Amino acid sequence: MLEFGEKLTLMPSAMRAADIASLRAAGFSDSEMVAITAAAAYRNFITRVADGLGVELGKNGANYYASSVLQAFGVNQSAIQGSLYADRQRATFAATDTPRLDRPGAAHSDDTRACWIDYSPSGDPPNLHQMTNLALALGSRPIALQATIDFASLIEAGDASLGERIASIIGLVVAGTLGLSYLGAHHAQRLLDTGSSSSELRAIVDHPGGETLAGREREAARFCEKLTRAPGTMVRADVEALREAAFSDREIVTIVGAAAFANYAGRIAAGLGVAPERKLSAQALAVI
Could you give the domains of the chain? 1-56+106-288 (1.20.1290.10)
* Residue 204 vs residues 44, 174, 193, 281: alpha-carbon distances, Å: 22, 10, 16, 18
Residue-wise DSSP of 167-184 = HHHHHHHHHHHHT-HHHH
Max avg pLDDT among 61-75, 108-122, 134-148, 269-283? 269-283
Side chain identity at residue 60, one-letter code: N
> 3-class DSSP state for residue 243?
helix
**Residue 224: CA count within 13 A, CB half-sphere:** 38
Q: What is the pLDDT of residues 11-57, one digit of tens each?
A: 999 999 999 999 999 999 999 999 999 999 999 999 999 999 988 76
Angle of CA points 157, 219, 253, to nearest 5°: 35
> Side chain identity at 125, as an amino acid letter?
P
- Determine the pLDDT at residue 169: 97
pLDDT in tens, 145-158: 999 988 888 887 66
- Distance, CA of 275 to CA of 109 (rounded, Å): 7
**Distance of alpha carbon 52 from alpha carbon 227, whole angstroms:** 6
- pLDDT band of residue 62 (cuts 50, 70, 90) is low
